[in-house]
Structure formats: structure tokens, C-alpha cells
């Protein structure tokens, strides 16, 4: 009771433990791009690194363990942005995605896809490599490597669940590596697909991996597509076209937290997120953008 005689709910005592499961997905890498009127396209971006305590984690690693935190204590959350696709009118690698963070857990942004003469950008999942160059490496327990680029078909970016496919000297672009499905929300959702490789002329573009990967592009046909927002999908690789296209942008990441339904989260300033209703003994907080603090009562 306060000094006005009004009954008030006591705050949760600090130091009481709470177990929190998590899915932390980083931003995907952007797809590379090629100079106009060339004969070789560019590779797809790698997916953002994926770390999870429910169903499966990235990179074929062992399932991670829930964090034991305490009530009435602030914990940092950052949702990583996707990397930009390679710039229009130039041969340029896509940018790496940005890291996502929850407390002591960091997932690494996906590697950008390579332009034809580019290297092998590494990341949470690796970007597809340049022509006859192996793809970038993934991060252990987060994602897989990208594929090797070929002329004229370029490589797919690595996914959280599989290596990106190599490009094809016959012309087709490599597919992005598939992502990883997790049921932390209460239903199975796939995250972390790699971006597909671009190609030239009338060949078949590389498709994005399951879990938000963007498709590659080709001149006179479809433009490369972006990775899906809040999946960490890699962007599709660009084509050698004269229309001012860019490589596909990587999709932003996401942080999803699961905890006992007797607890309530406070999502602080700077973060965009929602808390679900209780279901199956849990509540879930899905945080889709920003940097800030969360705490529980």
C-alpha cells in the first residue's frame, strides 16, 4: 500500500532466476552485382548466422542451451540489418549483414555475394564466391559456406542449414543454401536461406534457399530479389544488365524469446517488438528491429 492508501502490485524482486529460450538470427548478406554489358553475373549473399535453443540451430551444430537470467535486470537486444546489394552500374560485392545480439549471444551477419572478380566473403553463412573462387566460409554453429562461382552461372550463398550450390559453366545460377526450421513460436518457421546466384542471357537463375533467400537475376528477365525481412535471408546475385539494377538486399534478422507464461517482458525504447498471449505454458516476444534493452517481471 502506498502513502495514499491505494493498493499496489509489488515489483518482482531482482535476482530471481528466469529461463529464456532464444532464436537469434543476424541480417543476411546482399547479393553481388556486375558491370553493365558483361557476360558474367554475380553470386548470392549468405544468410545471417542463426543460433537457437529450440528444434535446431545453424551450421549443423548442437542445439544451444537456454539462458538463465534474473528478473528486473536489463539485457541488450540488437536486431541486425540486411546488407545492401552490390551497387548499380558497377561490379561490386554485396555488403555483409549486421550482427544480431541477445545478452551474451551474438549471431554473425551473412557474407555478401561476390561480383565476378570478387573473393569469397565470409559471415554467419558465407556469400557465394567469385568466378572459379570458392564461396566464403560460414561461422561454426551458425551457418554454412557459399558455393563456387562459374562463368556464366554464379553461386548461391550459404544458408543456416546447407551449403550454397556452385554455379554452372553451362549457364545456370547456383541455388542458395536452405535455412533451418524452428518451432520457438509454437509453429514451425524456417529462417536463414541463402541468396541464389545470378546468370546471363536465357539461362536459369539460382533460386533462394528456403527461409527467405532471394532469387538471382538475369538480363532481359527477372531482377534479383531481396532476402525476406526478419528471416536473415541472403539477397539474390545480380546480372550483367544495362538497366541500373542492383544486387538483392539481404533480409533483416530477428530475435525471438520464449519464457514461462507467468512472466511478462518489458521491451525497451529503441526496439520494435510484441509479446504473445500465453500458449502451451509459454509467452514469446518477437523483436523485429532496433537496439535497446529487455527485462522481465
Query: Would residue 289 count as lying in a domain?
Result: no
Give the pLDDT of residue 14: 59
- For 198-222, write each residue's pLDDT tens digit: 998 889 999 999 999 999 999 888 9
Q: What is the DSSP string of the chain?
A: --TTS---PPPPPTT-EEEEEEEEEPPPPPPPB--TT-S---PPPPPPPEEESSS--GGGPPPPPPEEEETT--EEEE-PPPPPPPPTTS-BPPPPPPPEEETTEEEPPPPPPPPTT-----SSSPPPPSBT-PPPP--TTT------B-SSS-PPPP-SSSPPPP--TTSPPPPPPP-EEE-TTSS-EEE-PPPPPP--TTSPPPPPPTTTPPPP--TTSPPP-PPPTTTTPPPPP--S-SS---PPPPPP-EEEEEEETT--EEE-TTEEEEEPPPBTTEEEEEEEEEEEEEEE-
Query: Would residue 94 count as lying in a domain?
Result: yes
Query: Would residue 13 count as lying in a domain?
Result: no
Query: Would residue 148 count as lying in a domain?
Result: yes
Q: Is the pLDDT of residue 67 over 70?
A: yes
Query: Would residue 67 count as lying in a domain?
Result: yes
The total number of structural domains that make up the chain:
1
Query: Would residue 224 count as lying in a domain?
Result: yes
Per-residue pLDDT, averaged over 53-63, amounts to 97
Q: Considering the entire predicted model, what is its pTM?
A: 0.94
- For 108-139, write each residue's pLDDT tens digit: 999 999 999 999 999 999 999 999 999 999 99
Query: Would residue 11 count as lying in a domain?
Result: no
Give the pLDDT of residue 6: 39
Per-residue pLDDT, averaged over 46-74, amounts to 98
Q: Is the pLDDT of residue 9 over 50?
A: no
Q: Is the pLDDT of residue 53 over 80?
A: yes
- For 94-108, write each residue's pLDDT tens digit: 999 999 999 999 999
Query: Would residue 102 count as lying in a domain?
Result: yes
Q: Which residues are catalytic?
A: 242
* Domain range enclosing 249: 23-263
Amino acid at each position: 500500500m502506498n502513502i495514499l492508501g491505494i493498493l499496489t502490485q509489488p515489483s518482482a524482486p531482482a535476482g530471481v532466476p528466469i529461463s529464456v529460450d532464444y532464436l537469434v538470427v543476424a541480417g543476411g548478406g546482399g547479393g553481388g552485382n556486375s558491370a553493365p554489358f558483361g557476360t558474367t553475373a554475380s553470386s548470392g549473399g549468405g544468410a545471417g548466422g542463426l543460433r537457437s535453443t529450440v528444434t535446431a540451430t545453424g551450421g549443423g551444430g548442437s542445439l544451444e542451451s537456454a539462458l538463465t537470467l534474473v528478473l528486473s535486470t536489463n539485457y541488450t537486444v540488437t536486431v541486425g540489418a540486411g546488407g545492401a546489394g552490390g551497387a548499380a552500374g558497377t561490379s561490386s560485392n554485396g555488403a555483409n549483414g549486421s550482427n544480431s545480439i541477445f545478452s551474451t549471444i551474438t549471431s554473425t551477419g551473412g557474407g555478401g555475394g561476390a561480383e565476378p572478380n570478387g573473393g569469397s566473403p565470409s559471415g554467419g553463412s558465407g556469400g557465394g564466391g567469385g568466378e572459379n573462387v570458392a564461396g566464403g566460409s560460414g561461422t561454426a554453429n551458425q551457418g554454412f559456406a557459399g558455393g563456387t562461382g562459374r562463368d556464366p552461372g554464379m553461386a548461391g550463398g550459404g544458408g543456416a542449414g546447407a551449403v550454397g550450390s556452385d554455379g554452372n559453366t553451362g549457364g545456370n545460377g547456383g541455388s542458395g543454401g536452405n535455412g533451418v526450421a524452428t518451432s520457438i513460436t509454437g509453429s514451425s518457421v524456417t529462417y536463414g536461406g541463402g541468396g541464389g546466384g545470378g546468370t546471363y542471357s536465357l539461362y536459369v537463375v539460382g533460386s533462394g534457399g528456403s527461409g527467405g533467400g532471394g532469387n538471382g537475376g538475369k538480363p532481359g528477365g527477372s531482377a534479383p530479389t531481396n532476402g525476406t525481412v526478419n528471416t536473415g535471408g541472403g539477397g539474390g546475385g545480380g546480372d550483367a544488365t544495362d538497366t541500373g539494377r542492383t544486387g538483392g538486399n539481404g533480409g533483416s534478422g530477428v530475435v525471438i524469446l520464449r519464457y514461462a507464461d507467468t512472466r511478462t517482458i518489458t521491451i525497451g525504447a529503441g526496439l520494435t517488438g510484441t509479446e504473445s498471449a500465453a500458449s502451451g505454458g509459454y509467452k514469446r516476444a518477437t523483436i523485429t528491429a532496433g537496439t535497446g534493452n529487455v527485462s522481465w517481471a
